[in-house]
Amino acid sequence: MTKLSVNINKVATLRNARGGNNPDVLKVALDCEKFGAQGITVHPRPDERHIRYNDVRELRPHVTTEFNIEGNPIDKFIDLVLEVKPTQVTLVPDSEEQITSNHGWDTMTNENFLTNVIGQFKSAGIRTSVFVDANPNMVQYAAKCGADRVELYTEPYASGYEEAREEVIKPFIEAAIAAHEIGIGLNAGHDLSLKNLQYFWQNIPWLDEVSIGHAIICDALYMGLAHTIKEYLACLK
């Protein structure tokens, strides 16, 4: 079964635009769980422009499904993860200037760094995933670094889906097969949506988890959060 983890960063973005606590990030997270989501994802950035570090601390005692924290493992991020001890940490190589993640790790070049960081998290009993491009070599080196899983960066698939879905899925299948063959877990995320999620899953049904935020929140504006989550879950059956 492929789990659906809802990234609630965009909810925090809306809250931060006006100050106060509306919408309530914690309530939305609990509602997502109530509506069937099997995980909650947050991605605190150094400038806290959406999810704040204190949001992560507040969410942790109340999230009963899998709690996934994404981010670049700078010192204060590492400290936060070790303090909160989520189910999973996903290491993403994003800079402070990026609007959103736009590439995966070069796990070969960063092997020593990633091995050290992953070792800290695994010693604390935290499942560790590494955000990578759809490249079998990057998957293999993530495993060599000690990662439990990789998350495939799926924007290239999503951007080419309408015109050439059979072509753009190929490197993802190859990377997914590489992960399967070496026994490392497999996640996916970024720009997956109701348009392209089912085809992706049909071609890679051994996915452990998909993490989706922007598309879910956009769809929820029209369909409501409960119905939207139900539709996304239906794509994974």
* Catalytic residue annotation: 43, 70, 190
Q: Distance between CA 188 and CA 104 in Å, rounded?
A: 12
CA distances, 212 to each of 39, 42, 106, 137 (Å): 10, 10, 23, 25
Q: H or E segment at 83?
A: helix 75-84
Residue 237: which of 213, 205, 215 has the closest Cα?
205
Using DSSP, state whether 46 is helix, strand or coil: coil
The answer for residues whose C-beta is within 8 angstroms of residue 200's C-beta and 6 or more apart is 154, 157, 169, 172, 188, 192
Q: Where are the beta strands (DSSP E) in 121-229?
A: 127-132, 149-153, 185-189, 209-212
Measured between alpha carbons, how far is 157 from 191 in angstroms, rounded to an integer?
9
Are 104 and 133 contacting, i.e. CB atoms less than 8 angstroms apart?
Answer: yes
